[in-house]
Amino acid sequence: MRSALNAAVTDLKDLIARSTGDAVAILEFQVALLQDEVLAEPAFSAIAAGSAADQAWLAAMQQEIAGYEASDDEYFRARGADLYDLRDRVLAHLTGSTIEAVVPPGAIVAAVDLAPSRFLAIDWSRGGALVLTAGSATSHVGMLARSRGIPAVMGLGVDLAELCGQALVDAHRGVLIVNPSPATRAQFDRDAKAAASTRALAADAATRPGVTADGTPIRIMLNIADPRELADLDPAICDGIGLVRTEFLFHDRQRLPDEEQQYSVYRRIAEWAQGRPVTIRTLDAGGDKPIPGLTPMGESNPFLGVRGLRLSLARPDVFRTQLRALLRAATHGNVKIMLPMVTQPRELVAARGLLDAEVAALAEAGIPARRVSLGIMIEVPAAAIAADQFDAEFFSIGSNDLTQYVAAAGRDVGAVVDLADPTQLSMLRLYRYVVDTARARHIEVSLCGDAGGDPRAIPRLLATGMRALSMAPALVGGAKLAIAAVDLRAMSGSERWPS
């Protein structure tokens, strides 16, 4: 049993080594689950009582999965897919079977749902598409498919047995056509050529500034989850980095990263930007990003628990180390510090106190450092509604979490995904209020959620007054094309200022 668990962890770590960005955090979440002794304890107890290892593991996981799926909490129901994957992965090592299907080049992979690790194990370089009868575009797999340019249609709600034969996937319209007619295939080929032309235009647009049709400049920045994403990127495609996630430094380690390790990474990122602003978010552990030995275990809803800045303030030793590394890295570029999951103004005050103390300590020790701008993510409704009460030096709207908290609809729950629309009226009103508040205070405001890189959402975001968007590097070209098609002067009052 223990050998199979270790082998499954090794499988996932091998995938992590071949992955970048958000994929790493998703896989590390699964590693953390497998390394949590509480998960496997019922199986070991059953083995001690005489059960075979495979039967003990299967029974233990079925009970665990049933508990997740029966939960009233959307977060736990959505995590069921991770547990199914872990169940099958360990079971494969116990029984000597294989877990990965062989995918022919260009095939459409069809499933009820697909675990992130299964998706990442497929060689998508040879083409193909993904179709899920369950799941949603905002799930972990949906995010991975989008970031890699894999056509995907999810939440079809049909019997998987119906999906056989030849088929066409139109991810733009969210359509799967099984056994298409010759006329349909011909139209599909024409649409595919048009889409290829659009992609070529987007690639060209990526190297140009973001400007609307009426000449309004829009700052385009990058969301980075791993510095390896920057290796082949030209800094000229962006106006800076709007979000550097730092969780990658804390996952899959025997010990927490020390100051020197963090400083080295932050310095490289700052130097890559060549003077452009680099906004680095302090550790946002918790929720779907647990860190063994740091984040609390056993919370009934980790998304609403001790996470983000709450965790940093609860662990000032860890927080101070990160702040010192960031202050030192700021001498090598235009670094700004952003605090995640801020709810009350007093949390910002407490964080600023710790930051000022580290500035003074570094100066006293004669260590080169620079005081930087301190801002907050607006991703909790309480912070959005009371944005005028926060003495921050900049705002960054995290539309992903803000939307699911406002709409009470989980991003990973296919049945309610239509409710988690980041451009619904309630969200547009919040964006506009935060933008107006920032302008009145003469501070910068940007949006760094998925909506920022969605061409369909961009016109409505700009209509709220947003003038800075941060997104995954792969989305920059398409976003700039969408921006170039917007004429803010020609918009009607209702389009420009949603009421």
User: What rounded mean pLDDT belongs to the chain?
Assistant: 88
Parallel/antiparallel/unpaired status of strands 129-132 and 468-471: unpaired
Which pLDDT score, from 0 to 100, does residue 317 have? Answer: 95
Q: Which residues of the chain have pLDDT under 50?
A: none
Out of 93, 140, 251, 332, the active site residue is: 140
Query: Is 448 considered catalytic here?
Result: yes
Which pLDDT score, from 0 to 100, does residue 161 have? Answer: 80
> Can you identify the CATH homologous superfamily of domain 2-95?
PtsI, HPr-binding domain (1.10.274.10)
| Structural contact between residues 120 and 19, judged by C-beta atoms closer than 8 angstroms | yes
| Structural contact between residues 151 and 130, judged by C-beta atoms closer than 8 angstroms | yes
According to the CATH classification, is domain 203-496 in 3.20.20.60? yes
Query: Is 238 considered catalytic here?
Result: no
Which pLDDT score, from 0 to 100, does residue 275 have? Answer: 96
Which pLDDT score, from 0 to 100, does residue 228 have? Answer: 83
Which pLDDT score, from 0 to 100, does residue 35 have? Answer: 87
> Can you identify the CATH homologous superfamily of domain 108-189?
Phosphohistidine domain (3.50.30.10)
Which pLDDT score, from 0 to 100, does residue 98 have? Answer: 66
Out of 93, 251, 332, 448, the active site residue is: 448
Which pLDDT score, from 0 to 100, does residue 377 have? Answer: 98
Domain ranges across the chain? 2-95, 108-189, 203-496
Which pLDDT score, from 0 to 100, does residue 354 have? Answer: 98
